Amino acid sequence: MCGSLTRSVSHRSFMTMFLWKAKGRNCSKCQKSIPVERLVSDVVTCGAIRNQSESLGSDLASLGMIVKLIQFLVVSLIIWMVPWSEAGLLQTIATPRVSVSHEARSIQPGEVVELVVSVTQPVASVEATAFEQSILLYPSSGQMVWRGLIGVDLDVEVREHLVSVTVITADESPVHVRYPLTVIPKQFATRQLTVAPQYVNPTPEALARIQQETARTTTIFETQTPQRVWRGSFLAPVPGKATSSFGRRSVFNGQPRSPHSGADFRAIEGTPVTAPNKGRVVLRSDLYFSGNCVILDHGLGLYSFFAHLSGFAVEEGDVVDSGDVVGYVGATGRVTGPHLHWTVRLNTARVDPLSLMEVLFDDGATY
């Protein structure tokens, strides 16, 4: 028996039985006897076919292993591309849940509103827009609580407004939230004052000076320093209570003028005026209406403006801490007597300094 036949038939006894049964076989057509050699040749041919089938099966098995290997490599590549924590565990980046709230005395013209944005996982940053002004927020408790100050200007329309909040996640994906703030009416009193005529009807030369000074202060108030300079509570710059309320409509020598955009503190001339919080001196100058004045930049669009000073204790560019002396109470500019006029601007909005003091007084935030 040839080698190929031996390979094609697994058991010799099977071949013997086959040949024994094949003896005397006739063709189904011609009834002639079929030679055993032909039968053996047929068996060998069948064995070759079987070898080919076995080879094909082996090839298919190899192909299956290759497919599984490719799948393994693809999965491994995906896992490798996903960020891992310091502990080596796979991180799953999920969209954080965002909740928005606020703190304020009231939602009225001239008020300061503290916006509080809480998230369920640390985020890269939080941005907001309110009353068509960009609001800069800062983290106050890790990266989970973000705070920002909103100023409700004296001319804000009384109705519901939407604050747009955008949370930028760790993978730089934005999450958008809308938060309603309803501004309610507030009645302001009117005050009658008598001052020198040149402060009611300035000369052309004085008007040119006023325009230049207004442009300079407007540029300052429109600048948002991206870093928060202030820390904690805001304190009164002089002892005592305010004597003139914020927002009063002013009538000078019988002529209506802009509303009172600050708080007046009565004090003896020469009384030290201290910084209500940390800030950088961005203006030290003599202005037509405000007299000797100092402007402090507290960061994130928040400014303090001190007017009618008798003298200065700082230079432009100085950084002062809360309680540092910046000047002295006086009666320069358009005034009726010695006092301190303290104005606060928040993202250009005219807001009540007393509102700022109350909203940020010992708010319990982690600074």
pLDDT value of residue 161? 98
The structure's pTM equals 0.71
pLDDT, mean over the chain: 81
Of 142 and 339, the one with more pLDDT: 339
pLDDT of residue 156: 96
pLDDT at 61: 63
Task: Judge contact between 152 and 131, C-beta under 8 A.
Answer: yes
Q: In the numeric block, which tokens belong to residue 154?
A: 């004296």
Q: Which of 9-18, 299-308, 325-334 has the lowest mean pLDDT?
A: 9-18
Report pLDDT for 115.
98
For residue 324, CA distances in Å to 13, 200, 302 come to 113, 35, 18
- For range 344-363, the mean pLDDT: 91
pLDDT in tens, 181-212: 999 999 887 777 777 777 777 899 999 999 99
d(CA 45, CA 40): 9
- Single-letter amino acid, residue 14: F
Instruction: Give yes or no for a contact between 228 and 216, defined as CB atoms under 8 angstroms apart.
Output: no
Which residues in 17-169 belong to E strands, given as ranges?
A: 98-103, 112-119, 125-130, 133-136, 138-141, 145-151, 160-168
Q: Predicted confidence band at 245 (pLDDT cuts at 50, 70, 90)?
A: confident
With a cut of 60, say whether residue 301 has pLDDT above it: yes
pLDDT tier at 82, thresholds 50, 70, 90: very low
| pLDDT at residue 338, as a whole number | 94
Q: Say what the pLDDT of residue 107 is.
A: 97
Q: Residue 19: is its pLDDT beyond 60?
A: no
Tokens at 174, concatenated: 């934005």
- Number of helices and strands in the chain (H, E): 5, 21
Tokens of 357: 């003091």
Nearest-5° Cα angle at 41, 37 to 43: 115
Distance CA 16, CA 162 (A): 96
What is the predicted pLDDT for the residue at 78? Answer: 55
> Which pLDDT score is estimated for 60?
56
Q: pLDDT by residue (tens digit) across 22-81? A: 444 455 545 555 554 444 444 444 444 445 545 545 655 666 777 677 777 765 655 455
The string of pLDDT tens digits covering residues 131-188 is 999 999 999 877 899 999 999 999 999 999 999 999 999 888 999 999 999 999 998 8
Tell me: pLDDT of 259 over 90. no
pLDDT band for 289, please (50, 70, 90 cuts).
very high
In this prediction, residue 74 carries a pLDDT of: 64
CB atoms within 10 A of CB 33: 11
In what side-by-side order are the strands of the sheet with 138-141?
98-103, 112-119, 145-151, 138-141
pLDDT for residue 84 is more than 70: no
Where b means 16+ CB within 10 Å and e means fewer, 123-140 reads: beebbbebbebebbbbbb
pLDDT for res 55: 55
Q: Between β-strands 249-252 and 190-193, what pairing exists: parallel, antiparallel or unpaired?
A: parallel
The answer on pLDDT for 274 being more than 70 is yes
